[in-house]
Structure 1
Amino acid sequence: MYHSSTQRKFWTFKSDKELTKGREAANDRFRNERQNKTSFNEEYFLTVEEERVLLRWYDDKLIKEFCHRFKPKVPVNCIATSCHYVKRLFLRYSVMEYNPKLMILASIWLACKTEEFNISMDQFVWNIHHLLPDEKLAHGEDYARKYGDAILAVELILIKELNFHLTIHNPFRAFEGLLIDMKTRYESAALKKPEILREPTVDYLYSAIFTDAILLYTPSQLALAALLYAGAKLNIILDSYVTEHLLKDQPRQVLEDTIKNVKKIRSIVRKNMKCPLENMVKSIEMKLEKCCNKTSNPLTEEYARLKSLEVEERERIATQKWREEAERQKQLQKDLLDY
């Protein structure tokens, strides 16, 4: 249940100020760590706003388009879960720390497993090859397989950075509950078939899952906001359902808070409708390429060199331990002979 979930306890925030504070802290932490190693101008790094613009672009051009054209079709619950993972990760870390394209694809892969949408990595790689041809320029002919290996390399890192909180309560199930409730308890001359609300409600929820609303409001609040939006779009007034059925016998303050939350959700979704300009995003991507942490990206040579050094260090330590043990055994045998 949502009210006893890690989603409510750790990943539902009281205001957008908390989200802004978290993102600013992540951005500052990365800047400070790099500044301690080498001196850079402030303009060298991405700003919090540039990070937001980049992720907004990837919402449309990577998550939406990739999942929409994916074969077999990715269920909407998988898409929503991957959105949660992406927003959680980049609430705690800057896009300069972890490559956003790679971590978004890893989030989609992980969400498919979490939501039990069974696909193999070979299928995932096939879709990368056919749906992301532009990556060929950056990573060569075998770019899809490289991405597959990279996703597997960062999967456990992603799970760890999410604090192993993988279960997501999405608003689509909450909407199904509201729809069943309307069919069984609500009678209205203006609404003979509640099923007509399904398509516009689901479309609205699909827009909402790409916004910060999923970090600020409960699944039921999101579902209700979407349902009321669908009613307004179809010129069906659902106020009586809310006041006389859904929130019947509740204190007036509960009704006022519900109305306030619905308005805030609509505002958030409306502000998120506009996609950034492509030339602006390309400029940010070029800037990111210079300032990002390449040692955390399995697609880079820097990562390969770091892993090679780590392997050499482990082998050196293992060899040293073996020699020390051999010396100890040799000394033990000598002591026994002397005795």
Structure 2
Amino acid sequence: MFPTSTQKTEWTFDNTDALTAKRNEASENYKNVYREVINPGEDERFLSPQDESTMRAIVQEAALKFGDDFQPHLFPSVRYTAFCYFKRFFLKHTVMEYSPKMVMMACYYLATKIDEFYVPIHEFVANLKSGNTETNTSHILKLEPEILKVMDYSLIVYTPYRTIEGIFVEMKQRMALLNFDIESLRPTLIEFITKSLLSDVMLIFSPNYIALAALKYGLDAQDRAVELVNEFLRRMLGVDESQMSEKDNTLVKNIDAQLDQIIAMVEESARPVDADMRKSCMERCTNVSILLSVLEERRRLLPSNKNGANKFDSDED
């Protein structure tokens, strides 16, 4: 199903460079809205790509805790789906245009419905610890159609959780001589996938690869032989190690290299945002909000003024 899904054809990219290009394009498109009213030097006050990345990271860190604390307890797939929507949204828009905090909350709310964990809006906003019920409800409901439009209504998200179940079943059947209880790996695998939400791996790799990377990570965390992953792949190919062709060997090595890449990306992104960087970014966001208000007023006074483009909300705590 995944290879023919819109998740694969429309929302899976070759590498991080492709994602960076998409985000930079979205940022430049937004800045161009104000190009005719920007005074010399003011464009330097917009958020830099690093600022935007830091802002998204801050919101994603908070969103993990929101998912942990949410009542009733969420399916893991709901959170995965919400993060997927969030990352997709900010490939086409910038955090200067929309409040990333409110976008994330709207993504969560939409994900509860799509993943058949529907929670009435009043119960959903009761889980928010900032803002008031009426304002939060209004922001979320207004953002929902914007998110749907960005994703062209392609809402099904394939997650690694089902793949993990399949891996466990296959390993128990095909690798009967394992000298440990493979179920003992489950908490570490789930932890890895949770940490992966802070990275961009879901926009580059398939759920199957992310699940296999979680397996390799879990084996390493328990000081188990990570070569078991390669053995599992060989068994899935249906060949004995001594009978593998050069093509089979190359395939296994390539998969293993990609698993290492996923693990490295997840571990890098899982590092908490530095306190000083967080403070600096929040100050920059506040300044941008002020600048955008000024630019909006200038645009309003133009003879050919259009609808306001500033949907930025600097209160991200």
Paired residue for 1:208?
A: 196
Please give the alpha-carbon distance, in whole angstroms, between the structure 2 residues aligned to 1:152 and 1:99. 14
Please give the alpha-carbon distance, in whole angstroms, between the structure 1 residues aligned to 2:106 and 2:236. 39
**How far 1:240 moved relative to its partner?**
5.3
Given the superposition, is the C-alpha separation of residues 216 and 50 from structure 1 closer, same or farther in structure 2, using an over 3 Å criterion?
same
Report the residue type matching 2:211 in the other structure. Answer: A
Deviations 1:44-92 (A, max 9, x none): 100111100111111112x111111111112211110011011111111
Task: Give 2:138's match in structure 1, choosing from 149, 169, 179.
Answer: 149
Q: Tell me, yes or no, if the aligned pair for 2:196 and 2:270 is still in contact at 8 Å.
A: no
Report the residue type matching 1:4 in the other structure. Answer: T
Paired residue for 1:231?
A: 219
Q: Tell me, yes or no, if the aligned pair for 1:13 and 1:216 is still in contact at 8 Å.
A: yes
Report the residue type matching 2:209 in the other structure. Answer: Q
Q: Tell me, yes or no, if the aligned pair for 1:197 and 1:230 is still in contact at 8 Å.
A: yes
Please give the alpha-carbon distance, in whole angstroms, between the structure 2 residues aligned to 1:282 and 1:115. 35
- Return the TM-score normalized by structure 2: 0.84
Q: Tell me, yes or no, if the aligned pair for 1:213 and 1:265 is still in contact at 8 Å.
A: yes
Q: Tell me, yes or no, if the aligned pair for 1:106 and 1:155 is still in contact at 8 Å.
A: yes
Among all aligned residue pairs of Structure 1 and Structure 2, give the percentage whose two residues are the same amino acid.
25
Paired residue for 1:276?
A: 273
Residues matched between the structures, number: 283
Task: Give 2:177's match in structure 1, choosing from 182, 188, 208.
Answer: 188
Please give the alpha-carbon distance, in whole angstroms, between the structure 1 residues aligned to 2:217 and 2:34. 46
1:99 aligns with 2:126: no
Please give the alpha-carbon distance, in whole angstroms, between the structure 2 residues aligned to 1:2 and 1:240. 23
Deviations 1:252-288 (A, max 9, x none): 2211210110110011011112111234323323332
Paired residue for 2:126?
A: 126
Please give the alpha-carbon distance, in whole angstroms, between the structure 1 residues aligned to 2:22 and 2:151. 14
Task: Give 1:266's match in structure 2, choosing from 263, 267, 271.
Answer: 263
Please give the alpha-carbon distance, in whole angstroms, between the structure 2 residues aligned to 1:264 and 1:171. 17
Please give the alpha-carbon distance, in whole angstroms, between the structure 2 residues aligned to 1:239 and 1:283. 42
Q: How does 1:231-310 map to 2 (within 5 A)?
A: 231-237=219-225, 238-239=228-229, 241-249=231-239, 251-292=248-289
Please give the alpha-carbon distance, in whole angstroms, between the structure 1 residues aligned to 2:116 and 2:148. 16
Report the residue type matching 1:55 in the other structure. Answer: R
Deviations 1:136-168 (A, max 9, x none): xxxxxxx22211121111111111011111100
Paired residue for 2:17?
A: 17
Paired residue for 2:48?
A: 47
Paired residue for 1:178?
A: 167
**How far 1:43 moved relative to its partner?**
2.5
Deviations 1:300-338 (A, max 9, x none): xxxxxxxxx99xxxxxxxxxxxxxxxxxxxxxxxxxxxx
Given the superposition, is the C-alpha separation of residues 13 and 240 from structure 1 closer, same or farther in structure 2, using an over 3 Å criterion?
closer
Task: Give 1:221's match in structure 2, choosing from 209, 213, 216.
Answer: 209
Given the superposition, is the C-alpha separation of residues 160 and 251 from structure 1 closer, same or farther in structure 2, using an over 3 Å criterion?
same
Higher RCO, 1 or 2 (CA under 8 Å, sep at least 6)?
Answer: 2
Paired residue for 1:58?
A: 59
Given the superposition, is the C-alpha separation of residues 291 and 189 from structure 1 closer, same or farther in structure 2, using an over 3 Å criterion?
closer
Give the gaps of 5 or more residues in structure 1: 136-142, 295-308, 311-339
Report the residue type matching 2:52 in the other structure. Answer: E
**How far 1:26 moved relative to its partner?**
1.1
Report the residue type matching 2:232 in the other structure. Answer: V
Please give the alpha-carbon distance, in whole angstroms, between the structure 2 residues aligned to 1:14 and 1:148. 37
Give the gaps of 5 or more residues in structure 2: 240-246, 294-305, 308-317
Query: How large is the Cα RMSD of the aligned pairs?
Result: 1.9
Report the residue type matching 1:287 in the other structure. Answer: R
Please give the alpha-carbon distance, in whole angstroms, between the structure 2 residues aligned to 1:243 and 1:159. 37
Q: Tell me, yes or no, if the aligned pair for 1:171 and 1:219 is still in contact at 8 Å.
A: yes
**How far 1:102 moved relative to its partner?**
0.8
Rg comparison, structure with higher value: 1
Report the residue type matching 2:256 in the other structure. Answer: I
